Structure 1
């Protein structure tokens, strides 16, 4: 049985999808744009955008009774790979020693002109 996850602590989906879905012991978190759920706004700085996307992932994990330690895989989409070092610095402050598997992909553009979007897979 597929369970959808929704929390007001993360921005609402900007399309026809769920914030996350859970099946058995796996949680699939949809790509999180760096939208602040309280203001519905985005910073124009990559460091702040990376932080917000990861905060949104944390909120969804929390709504599923999980933490960042449950994350086994992340995919990061960025519109400029030249900003990879800045993204990596922010990422390290969230994941530290946990270090799940990860990919970083350069893309031409993202929804709402975001500079970053991050999706995650977590496991109980």
Structure 2
């Protein structure tokens, strides 16, 4: 069974995709960028956009029954290669060792975005 978990405060896009898809114990989260709850882009510094994007990811995961500690893979999109050092400095604040599997791609986003993240996670242990 495929589920599409959402809540009123889950960041949404006007584009045709779901924020998350849950199949059994796996959660697939679409790319989360620096947007508000209505999907409007919030421009900021690289750090500000990265933090907002990961907080959006956190909201989507919580709605789907998971959290950042249960992420098994991330895909990261960094618009400008010169932001990679800052990206690598901020990332461990949200994901801890042993880190999720990770792919990072640079020079790939529209000029309106500096950072985007998507992930695959597992459902939180229901005993917690």
CA RMSD of aligned residues (A): 1.9
2:92 is the counterpart of 1:92: yes
1-structure distance, mates of 2:45, 2:36: 13
Q: Distance in 2 between matches of 1:38 and 1:59?
A: 14
Distance across 1 between alignment mates of 2:70 and 2:16: 26
* SS at 1:83 equivalent: helix
TM-score scaled by structure 2?
A: 0.86
Indicate the structure (1 or 2) with the bigger Cα radius of gyration: 2
CA contact (8 A) 2:13 2:38 kept: no
Look up the SS of the partner of 2:4 in the other structure.
Answer: strand
Q: Is contact 1:33-1:53 (8 Å) kept? A: yes
Q: Partner residue of 1:74?
A: 74
- Give 3-state SS (helix, strand or coil) of 1:113's partner: coil
Give the TM-score normalised by the residue count of structure 1: 0.88
Match of 2:49 in 1: 49
- 8 Å contact 1:10–1:36 — kept in the other structure? no
2:13 alignment partner in structure 1: 13
1:119 counterpart residue number: 118
> Equivalent residue of 2:90, what SS?
helix
Tell me how far apart the structure 1 counterparts of residues 74 and 26 of structure 2 sit (CA, whole Å).
Answer: 13
Aligned position for 1:36: 36
Deviation, 1:35, is 1.0
Secondary structure, counterpart of 2:103 in structure 1: strand
Question: CA separation in 1, counterparts of 2:39 and 2:12?
Answer: 12
Return closer, same or farther for 1:14/1:90 CA change in 2, 3 Å cut-off: farther
Matched-pair contact (CA < 8 Å) for 1:7–1:59: no
Q: How far apart, in 1, do the equivalents of 2:38 and 2:23 lie?
A: 29
Find the residue that maps to 1:5 and give its secondary structure: coil
What is the total number of aligned residue pairs between the two structures? 123
Contact 1:9–1:56 (Cα < 8 Å) also in 2? no
Runs of 4+ displaced beyond 2 Å: 7-10, 36-41, 107-110
